[in-house]
Amino acid sequence: MAGTKKKKGARINVGLLCTTCGKQNYVVMINKVNDPKLEIKKYCNQCRTHTLHKSKEKLK
């Protein structure tokens, strides 16, 4: 089929870890070349509040 090829590139999956409790809550895809580190304020289910989440490259 003509349009079903996967694109190869510098995008990778990373996990977002809560800085307060250390739980991995989200998985996002980032461009490794332009955005090497990612820090976002997101909701943590364990802390039950919005906390800072940092990226972790190795996923389980």
Domain range list for the chain: 11-56
Quote the CA–CA distance of 16 and 37 in Å, as a whole number. Answer: 11
Q: How confident is the model at residue 11 (pLDDT cuts 50, 70, 90)?
A: confident
Residue 42's pLDDT is: 96
Condensed to tens digits (0 to 9), the pLDDT of residues 20-56 reads 999 999 999 988 888 778 899 999 999 999 999 999 9
What class is the 11-56 domain?
mainly beta
Residue 7's pLDDT is: 67
Pairing of strands 24-31, 11-18: antiparallel
Quote the CA–CA distance of 27 and 45 in Å, as a whole number. Answer: 14
